[in-house]
Every structure is written in structure tokens, then in C-alpha cells.
Amino acid sequence: MKTILVTGGAGYIGSHTVVALQDGGYQVVILDNLCNSKLVVLNSIQKICSKTPVFYQGDIRDRTLLSKIFNNHSISGVIHFAGLKAVGESQSQPLKYYDNNVAGSITLLEEILKAKVDTFVFSSSATVYGEPGASQYQEDMPTAPINVYGRTKLMVEEILGDSAKANPGLKVACLRYFNPVGAHSSGLIGENPVGTPNNLMPYIGQIALGILPRLKVFGSDYPTPDGTGLRDYIHVDDLAIGHVLALDYLERNPGAITVNLGTGKPYSVLEMIATFEKVSGKKIPYDLVERRSGDLAEYYANSGLAKAVLGWQAKHGIERMCEDTWRFYSQLGAQGS
Ligand SMILES: NC(=O)c1ccc[n+]([C@@H]2O[C@H](COP(=O)([O-])OP(=O)(O)OC[C@H]3O[C@@H](n4cnc5c(N)ncnc54)[C@H](O)[C@@H]3O)[C@@H](O)[C@H]2O)c1
């Protein structure tokens, strides 16, 4: 049985991917410093899969710990989720982001090469495209991120590409996610960030539980059908499967590949609110406010490459995204957390 090291595996996308890996017959070792996640997620993973991953609490910048993990386990590949992701915070604290996301990835990569692990899957983001002028993003478009967070993702993509060229044995997949939402169908794991959520669906979930009062919808005069921004929301379980397929792909193919993971079908903020209200029976009060600088009217993935090379296609639509989010939040509410 192959063993995969999942950095950031206690986090939102990481925990769903750990479930998909364990369901797919992989052994999993998680390394997470819990700066944006909670240990309880391990119990939830155990309940879903009847199997607990090995867990190390620690930092990807801790070289001694990394080398201990590679000595203790026969790791065949690494999926690297560990990173900070708040765009606003990345602008006000750039060095924190360059240190955690870029320096952290370099340390991890150095230790991977030392340990002769040959497979690396990286969590990148559609943010790397910046404002390309077209709404449909394709992997070969120029990249020009407009914030520090996006630049950290692009820098790591480039570092990995250069390293794969210099180390012909190294196989790399950079997966550019669009807007992950939803939760596992059990309702046991989902997106439950530390502090006030930065993303739409956890914010809506917390309003439904009465934790937050109202939602601000930034911009209602975009040239879109209802005036609010259109985003390519992708169910986190679809995203998780994309990682398992990327590992399968890398087993057969050397070199480096960059692939979009999005559905290609965008929904507006108001559509997300209305669908969540419908499936939950909860009212989500909101205010239409000024546009936020740096936000675009619309963007979505060209997901043709993911289908062609990984055999990946998103299965879940907006109803399922909202149903699963609500199941997760209603269970959190019942636990009083
Ligand atoms: N959620 C999104 O909208 C989105 C979109 C595109 C890309 N991504 C990327 O996907 C990855 C996972 O995102 P997520 O939404 O699951 O975020 P998350 O915050 O839920 O998960 C990240 C995990 O990494 C851990 N972590 C952070 N820095 C670490 C470090 N230095 N050492 C060890 N652990 C560390 C955190 O504790 C957390 O558990 C991130 O790299 C993020 O940038 C996320």
C-alpha cells in the first residue's frame, strides 16, 4: 500500500482529500501545524473511513521534523496543501505569506529531494491568472497575480517547474483550484475556519447558525445577469478526487503538469444565497454594498485539460454544494461549536 504525506491535511481541502486517498487504498501521513484547523477533524476522518491517518503536529518549515517523517515512513508522494490563504492578510503581512507559503515549500521540496520522494502535488489557485481580460481561464494563458497570496502560489509553481527540469526523476502536478465549497456528504467534515470566515459559504453557514448577523455582497452592478459576481464554485469532494487522479497520472507520466480544477459553470453570489436558503429553509439576510477592489465580474475554468489528462470531471452542482454545506453547519450547530 502506498503512503502519501499530506501537508495541511487537517484543513478544509486536505481533510476531504485524506478521505478520498484512504477510500482509494492509500495510507496517509498528515503534517499540519493546526494554525487554521482543529485536531477533532481526525476523529471525523476516522468515523468516515474507519481508519485514522498518522498525524504529526508541526510545521513544514521544520526541517528536523520533515526528515524524521521521511525516515519513519516510506513515503511515495506528497500532496502539499499547507499554506496561508487570506488575500487581505497577505497584502498587509506579505513576509508572513512569503515565509510560510514560499520558504515553507522550498524547505519541504529540499527534504523531499533528499528523501528521494519523486511525486509532488501542489495546491495552486486560479488567483495566479490575475486579470487576464477573458473570463474563461486556460492553463496556457499568461499569469499575473494581483496580490501577494497569488504571487506566492505562482512562485511555488515556478520553483516546482524549475526543480522538475533540474531533477528529471521529480514529477509535479500543480492544481489550480477555482472556488472550493461544500462538505463531505456525511456532514462530519467541512470548512470551519479559525476566526471570521473570508469565504462566502462558511460565512453563509455561520449566518444560518445565528453566529454572524448579515452578509455583505460586494458589488451588484457587474455586467452579469443579476449584477453580482460569477464564480466557478467547485464541490470539495470533486476537488479531492482530482488529487487522487493527479497521483495516478504522475505514476504514469514524468515531468511537470499544471491543471485547472473547476467546473466551468459559474454561479452568482445571489444564486448561491437563494439555493442555500432553499435547501436549508434558513433566511440569509444580506446587503448589497460597493464592489471590492481587485474583484472581477466573472471568471471560470476551462476544465478541458483536467478531463483530457486526468480523466477528471466535476460531478456535483449548486444544490449539492449548498445541501452538503448546510448538513455540515447544522451538525456544528447541534454540537454547539
Ligand atoms: N479554499 C480555497 O478557496 C482555495 C483556493 C485555491 C487554493 N487553495 C489552496 O489550497 C490549500 C488548502 O486550502 P484550504 O482551503 O484547505 O485551507 P485551510 O486553511 O483549511 O488548510 C490549510 C492547512 O494548512 C495548515 N498549515 C498552514 N501553514 C502551515 C505550515 N507552515 N505548516 C504546517 N501546516 C500549515 C493549516 O493549519 C491548515 O490546516 C492552501 O494552500 C490554499 O492556498 C485554497
Say whether both 107 and 130 belong to one domain: yes
Least confident range of 149-158, 242-251, 326-335? 326-335
Ligand 1 near 81 CB (within 6 A): yes
- Rg, the chain, Cα only: 19
Work out the angle between the directed axes of helices 63-72 and 104-114 (0-180°, nearest 10).
40
Q: Are 57 and 48 in contact (CB under 8 A)?
A: no
Distances (CA, A) of 240 to 54, 111, 128, 268: 19, 25, 20, 23
pLDDT of residue 138: 98
Query: Does residue 131 fall inside a structural domain?
Result: yes
pLDDT in tens, 312-324: 999 999 999 999 9
With a 6 Å cutoff on the Cβ, whether 60 touches ligand 1 is: yes
Residues 214 and 83 in one domain: no
- Pair (29, 50) in one structural domain: yes
Domain-embedded: residue 190: no
Give burial (CB, 10 Å; 0-12/13-18/19+) of 150.
buried
Q: Return the number of other C-beta atoms located less than 10 Å from residue 307's C-beta.
A: 13
Query: What's the pLDDT score for residue 336?
Result: 66
CA of 169 to the centre of ligand 1 (A): 27
CATH of the domain at 110: 3.40.50.720
pLDDT at 286 over 70: yes
Does the annotation mark 149 as catalytic?
yes
Provide the domain count of the chain.
2
- Average per-residue pLDDT for the chain: 96
Tell which one of 31, 35, 178, 325 to mutate to probe ligand 1, the residue whose CB is within 8 A of the most ligand atoms.
Answer: 35
Ranges 44-53, 74-83, 194-203, 230-239: which has the least confidence = 194-203
DSSP string across 33-94: --SS--TTHHHHHHHHHS---EEEE--TT-HHHHHHHHHHS-EEEEEE------HHHHHH-H
Q: Are residues 19 and 145 in the same domain?
A: yes
| CB distance 32 to ligand 1 below 6 Å | yes
Q: How far apart are CA 199 and CA 101, in angstroms?
A: 19
The answer on 175 and 86 residing in a single domain is yes
C-alpha of residue 84 to centroid of ligand 1, in Å: 6
**High-pLDDT (> 90) share of the chain, %:** 93
pLDDT band at 13 (very low <50, low <70, confident <90, very high): very high
Mean local confidence (pLDDT), 219-247: 97
The region, left, alpha or beta by phi > 0 then psi within -120 to 50, assigned to residue 9 is alpha
> Does any domain span residue 188?
no
In a domain, 308, yes or no: no
Residue 264: phi, psi to the nearest 5?
Answer: 85, 0
Residue-by-residue DSSP string for 136-148 = EE-TTS----SSH
Q: What pLDDT is stored for residue 337 in this prediction?
A: 58
Task: Please give the distance, rounded to the nearest whole angstrom, from the Cα atom of residue 227 to the centre of ligand 1.
Answer: 30
CB contact at 8 A, 259 and 298:
no
**Per residue in 78-110, pLDDT tens?**
999 999 999 999 999 999 999 999 999 999 999
Question: 169: which DSSP letter?
Answer: T
DSSP string, 170-220: -EEEEEEE-EEE---TTSSS----SSS--SHHHHHHHHHTTSS--EEEE-S
Q: Rounded mean pLDDT of 252-277?
A: 97
Question: Which of 96, 113, 126, 94 has the alpha carbon at shortest distance from 160?
Answer: 113
pLDDT band for position 334 (cuts 50, 70, 90)? confident
Task: Provide the domain limits for residue 71.
Answer: 3-182+233-264
pLDDT at 194: 80
Q: State the average pLDDT over residues 19-46.
A: 97
Same domain, 178 and 90: yes
Q: Is 229 in the pocket of ligand 1 (CB under 6 A)?
A: no
In a domain, 323, yes or no: yes
Longest dimension (CA), the chain: 56
Residue 293 lies in a domain: yes
* Residue 305 resides in a domain: no
Residues in the chain: 337
Domain match, 136 and 171 both:
yes
Residue 307 domain-assigned (yes or no): no
Residues 227 and 254 occupy one common structural domain: no
**Atom 30 (ligand 1) nearest CA:** 59
Among 123, 153, 156, the mutation site with the greatest number of ligand 1 atoms within 8 A of its Cβ is 123
Pair (144, 57) in one structural domain: yes
Q: Are 307 and 313 in contact (CB under 8 A)?
A: yes
Taking the mean position of all CA atoms in its chain, how far away is CA 32? Answer: 15
Q: Give residue 332's pLDDT.
A: 86
Catalytic residue among 56, 129, 137, 149: 149
Same domain, 145 and 252: yes
The answer to whether residues 328 and 241 belong to one domain is no
Confidence of residue 195 (pLDDT cuts 50, 70, 90): confident
Q: Looking up cell 499568461, which residue turns up?
A: 142
- β-pairing, 27-32 with 75-80? unpaired
CATH number assigned to the domain comprising residue 219? 3.90.25.10
The residue with greater pLDDT, 162 or 198, is 162
Give dist(CA 7, CA 18) in Å, integer. 10
Task: Using the Cα atoms of residue 95, residue 100, residue 102 and residue 103 in order, give the sign of their dihedral.
Answer: positive
Q: Are residues 48 and 140 in the same domain?
A: yes
